[in-house]
Amino acid sequence: MTDAVATRLKKRHAAEARFRLYGRMAIVVALSFLVLLLGRIGLQGYSTFTTNTVSLPVYLDPARIDRADLEGSNYDYVVALSLLKMMGETEDEFGTASDDAMELVSRDLGFQILDQIKANPALIGKTITVTGPVKADADLYYKGELKRSTDEADRKLNDRQLAWLDRIKTSGAVTSGFNVAFFTNADSTEPEQAGILGAVIGSAMMLLVTALIAVPMGVMAAVWLEEFAPKNRWTDLIEVNINNLAAVPSIVYGLLGLAVFVNGFGAPRGAALTGGMVLALMALPTVIIATRSALKAVPPSIREAAWGVGASRTQTVFHHVLPQAMPGVMTGTILSLAHALGETAPLLMIGMIAFNPGLPESFTSSASVLPVQVFIWETASERAFHERTAAAIIVLLVFMIAMNAAAVILRRRFERRW
């Protein structure tokens, strides 16, 4: 081996080692960003999944409850009075003490009392025990996120309220547990009452609409373009346009939906149906492109075999080519639906940003969806909503992972047939 060869070889090895190092570095950087992202969301959001519940004996004072107008009575105040009594304070007729007390337990307790009295008016004058969440700020204090060390003026709860919370805790009336309400409620103005179920159902309904429109239309369009359409200037033009549509910013689809569906056809604003239609427009080019590439990947010999035994073009496509392409179609479709699931901008355009305290009633009623719920909570001022933002993102990510897993499973199942 001459020197020249040795030097060149050494250089080549060095270049290879350098390239591998760059590759590893790129992966490490990408992974660390992913860990940072998921870690931050997880750290901020996990505390939402536990919550503190309080059980209070409440004296249903006949003097404070109007038997003739049960709905009109102030049960939050009744609860606050019982809390004050437990703390050994005197009532001050809507003064600072009862105000402070009302800021500690959720209004859910008051609603529970109303429901119980409505069912059984004989309860008035007796003492009943009601169990419900503490207010979001009190919850944050119990979780250690609202600290006593913060200056009193800078925190939501004053020293007296913190002292009361400590006494309730030591009395054993407070228990910490899984936050069921977060998974069974819709949105609420009270953070401790706000839940994700409304948005999950809204997202599922909207995706159903998207899938029902985009998948059949997209697959049929792709089949026609790939298997039947003549290759001429018009089909070339269509192809170029479909590829371009896939790159159009999603908010443009929102504007289109607003102009055509809402203002043109009178589709309901902020409904799962309208949102689904807009997202279907958005998903359509991706579904078409994915289906076309799956169809292209089917070997021509299968088509020739079918033609050879006298199958028509339609029979060839639907009996042989499309079934062969199905795994690819499935994967492409589900991934484009998962992408649609995370869309926010076009939905804001068609008015899906409304506050919906109830579960969506139908496809044409106002509904919330997960990404918009994240957006709404992120812009809320209460600190407790911010941990719910992170929790909603976790739910959204789980939803997406579930969809991607479904894509993988479906692909395996369809491929395993032969």
Partner 1 sequence: MVALMTVQPPLIRTAAPHSHHPVNLDAPKIVVRDVSVFYGAKQALDSVSIDVPGKAVTAFIGPSGCGKSTFLRCINRMNDTIPGCRVEGAVEIDGEDVNARSVDPVILRAKVGMVFQKPNPFPKSIFENVAYGPRIHGLASGKSELEGIVEASLKKAGLWAEVSDRLNAPGTSLSGGQQQRLVIARAIAVSPEVILMDEPCSALDPIATARIEELIDELRQQYCIVIVTHSMAQAARVSQRTAFFHMGRLIEAGSTEEIFTNPRESRTQDYITGRIG
| Interface with partner 1, residue 88, by CB under 8 A | no
Question: Which of these ranges, 28-36, 135-143, 306-314, 337-345, lies near partner 1 under the rule CB under 8 A?
Answer: 306-314
Number of Cβ within 10 Å of residue 236's Cβ equals 11
- In angstroms, what is the minimal distance from the CB of 196 to partner 1? 43
| Interface with partner 1, residue 292, by CB under 8 A | no
Tell me how far apart the alpha carbons of residues 412 and 415 are, in angstroms, rounded to a whole number: 5
Q: How many residues bind partner 1, per CB under 8 A?
A: 21
Question: Which of these ranges, 75-83, 100-108, 109-117, 297-305, lies near partner 1 under the rule CB under 8 A?
Answer: 297-305
Answer for which of 86, 311, 348, 397 binds partner 1 (CB under 8 A) is 311
Largest CA distance in the chain: 108
Looking up tokens 């996990």, which residue turns up?
46
Tell me how far apart the alpha carbons of residues 130 and 265 are, in angstroms, rounded to a whole number: 49
Q: Which is nearer to partner 1, 84 or 225 (CB)?
A: 225
| Interface with partner 1, residue 411, by CB under 8 A | no
Give Cα 78 to chain centroid, integer Å: 36
Residues 185-244 interacting with partner 1 (rule: CB under 8 A): 230-231
Question: Which of these ranges, 13-21, 142-150, 251-259, 317-325, lies near partner 1 under the rule CB under 8 A?
Answer: 317-325
Encoded tokens for 26: 């790129």
Q: Which is nearer to partner 1, 120 or 315 (CB)?
A: 315
Question: Which of these ranges, 4-12, 237-245, 294-302, 380-388, lies near partner 1 under the rule CB under 8 A?
Answer: 294-302
- Residues 54, 173: contact at Cβ < 8 Å? yes
Looking up tokens 């078409």, which residue turns up?
288
Tell me how far apart the alpha carbons of residues 355 and 375 are, in angstroms, rounded to a whole number: 12
- In angstroms, what is the minimal distance from the CB of 227 to partner 1? 11
Q: Which is nearer to partner 1, 235 or 293 (CB)?
A: 235
Q: Which is nearer to partner 1, 269 or 319 (CB)?
A: 319
Residues 377-396 interacting with partner 1 (rule: CB under 8 A): none
Answer for which of 49, 59, 224, 307 binds partner 1 (CB under 8 A) is 307
Residue count (the chain): 418
Encoded tokens for 356: 């919906």
Tell me how far apart the alpha carbons of residues 135 and 107 are, in angstroms, rounded to a whole number: 8
User: Which among 331, 367, 262 has a CA at the least distance from the CA of 376?
Assistant: 367
Tell me how far apart the alpha carbons of residues 99 and 299 are, in angstroms, rounded to a whole number: 75
Please name the residue ranges forming H helices in 246-381.
250-257, 272-296, 300-308, 313-315, 322-341, 345-349, 370-378
Residues that bind partner 1 (CB under 8 A): 230-231, 299, 301-312, 315, 319-320, 324, 417-418
